[in-house]
Every structure is written in C-alpha cells, then in structure tokens.
C-alpha cells in the first residue's frame, strides 16, 4: 500500500484551546481579547492552507541500533524501537499545510509580531489536526490492528537527519511538495513526517509525552511542574 490512495484532507475548524496551549497560555486564563485574536487568526489560517500528504506501508525489522524499514532505511535509536514494540509494520507518512501558511506568517511578521505568533500557533494546531485526520484514515486501512501514537523525527533519540530519507521513501517532493533543507528541517515549515506503528494484536497504548509538543519550550504547565492533559 502506498500514497496513491491518499484522500484529500480538508480543515474546517481549529481547536482554539490547543492554539492557546501552543502559545503557552492555559485556555482558562485567556481573556476575551486574546481569544478573539486566536479565533480571527484561526479563520485566516483555515482560509490559506492547502494540505497535502503521502504515505507508504512498510514492514519493520528490529535491530540492535534501531528499527530498519523494508527499503533498508535504518531509523536509529532505542526510543522508537521501544515505542514500536509489538508492531511488525508501520504506515510512514508526511503532511504539509503548503507554502501558503508560511507566506501568511511571514507577511504578518513584517507588521505585527504578536499576530504573527498567533498565526504561527494556529498553523501548528492546523498541521496537528491534519495529522489526526491522516492517522484516523490510516487506521481504517488496517482493520483489526492496534496502533501506538504516531512518532516523528526529533522525538526522543530519533534524529532529524532521517527526515530526508523518509521524504525520499514517500516521493514527497512530487506527491506533497515537501522537501528537507541541508539542516534537516522541513519546507514548507508547517509540515510533519511520522510513523504510525501497526500491530496485529492488542498492545498497550502509551500516552503522548511532551517530547514532540510545539509548546514545550513555553508551556506554563511544564513550568509549574504539571501537564496539559493532552494524550
């Protein structure tokens, strides 16, 4: 199975509470002005984005230094290896909001950095919402299977250096207009690569951690020694 059967993704709304978390503001502490700004920026982002994605199913081989995909690509590290325990396959995918989201944020940066920050956080929430839709669609392609949460380069000890090889595996430049820079960053910027493990039987589904959260550097919950509760 591969990305030839990828269904179009459409976003009609954003979770404003999640946007506020990315901004480092607990939703219950947001005043009316901030909430209104988030809602206005969310509408702008929804009007600008053009989500695209690609995916491929691969078999997995567990090795001493990581997990090897059937095309020969080794994903190094012990964290992903532990995360995929019980899985014999994975759906590898990439997703992007498109260049329009980046352009919207850049234009705002020239005029109002506060608004630009809000747009940036809205775009972060948007790409996560796109990935949620993709994950739900991919799960339907593997009936009767179990899935840990999706896992991306940069989580744990899985290095960003694998971004380029994953995009090559997915033919992402052609299928999704998605590339990686020499520094292993994705472009367009609001983009994701990820693996969704596939297990034939029941597995214990671990909760998401703060490892890959866009808000972890500014999170007020973490600063207070807590957690936002998203899993």
Question: 205 lies in a domain?
Answer: yes
Question: Facing residues of 81 across strands?
Answer: none
Instruction: Give a yes or no: residue 173 inside a domain.
Output: yes
* Chain centroid to CA 91: 14
Pairing of strands 89-96, 52-63: antiparallel
Say how far apart CA 219 and CA 22 lie, in whole Å: 7
Per-residue b/e over 103-121, b at no fewer than 16 CB within 10 Å?
ebbeebeeeeeebbbbbbb
| 230 assigned to some structural domain | no
| pLDDT tens for each residue of the chain, 231 residues long | 555 556 788 899 999 999 999 998 888 898 999 999 999 999 999 999 999 999 999 999 999 999 999 999 999 999 999 999 999 999 999 999 999 999 999 999 999 999 999 999 999 999 999 999 999 999 999 999 999 999 999 998 899 999 999 999 999 999 999 999 999 999 999 999 999 999 997 777 655 555 555 455 555 445 544 444 443
Q: Is 228 contained in some domain? A: no
pTM of the model: 0.86
CA max distance for the chain = 53
Q: How far is CA 119 from the centre of its chain?
A: 17
Confirm whether 231 is domain-assigned.
no
What total number of domains does the chain contain? Answer: 1
**Angle separating helix axes 32-48 and 99-109, nearest 10 degrees:** 140
Tell me, what CATH number does 127's domain have? Answer: 3.40.109.40
Domain of residue 36: give its range: 3-223
Nearest of 189, 57, 168 to residue 123 by alpha carbon: 189
Give the single-character DSSP code of 186: E
- Residue 201 domain flag: yes
């Amino acid at each position: 199975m591969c990305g030839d059967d990828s269904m179009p993704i459409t976003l009609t709304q954003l979770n404003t509470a999640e946007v506020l978390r990315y901004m480092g503001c607990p939703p219950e502490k947001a005043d009316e002005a901030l909430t209104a700004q988030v809602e206005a920026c969310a509408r702008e982002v929804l009007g600008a984005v053009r989500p695209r994605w690609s995916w491929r199913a691969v078999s997995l081989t567990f090795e001493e230094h990581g997990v090897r995909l059937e095309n020969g690509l080794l994903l190094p590290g012990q964290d992903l290896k532990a995360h995929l325990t019980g899985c014999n396959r994975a759906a590898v995918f990439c997703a992007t909001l498109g260049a329009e989201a980046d352009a919207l944020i850049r234009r705002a940066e020239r005029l109002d950095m506060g608004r630009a920050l809000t747009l940036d956080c809205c775009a972060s929430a948007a790409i996560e919402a796109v990935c949620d839709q993709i994950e739900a669609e991919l799960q339907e392609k593997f009936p009767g299977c179990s899935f840990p949460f999706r896992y991306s380069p940069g989580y744990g000890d899985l290095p960003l250096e694998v971004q380029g090889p994953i995009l090559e595996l997915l033919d992402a430049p052609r299928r999704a207009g998605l590339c990686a820079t020499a520094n292993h960053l994705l472009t367009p910027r609001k983009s994701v690569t990820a693996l969704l493990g596939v297990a034939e039987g029941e597995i214990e589904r671990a909760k998401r951690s703060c490892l890959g959260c866009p808000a972890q550097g500014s999170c007020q919950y973490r600063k207070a020694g807590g957690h936002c509760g998203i899993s």
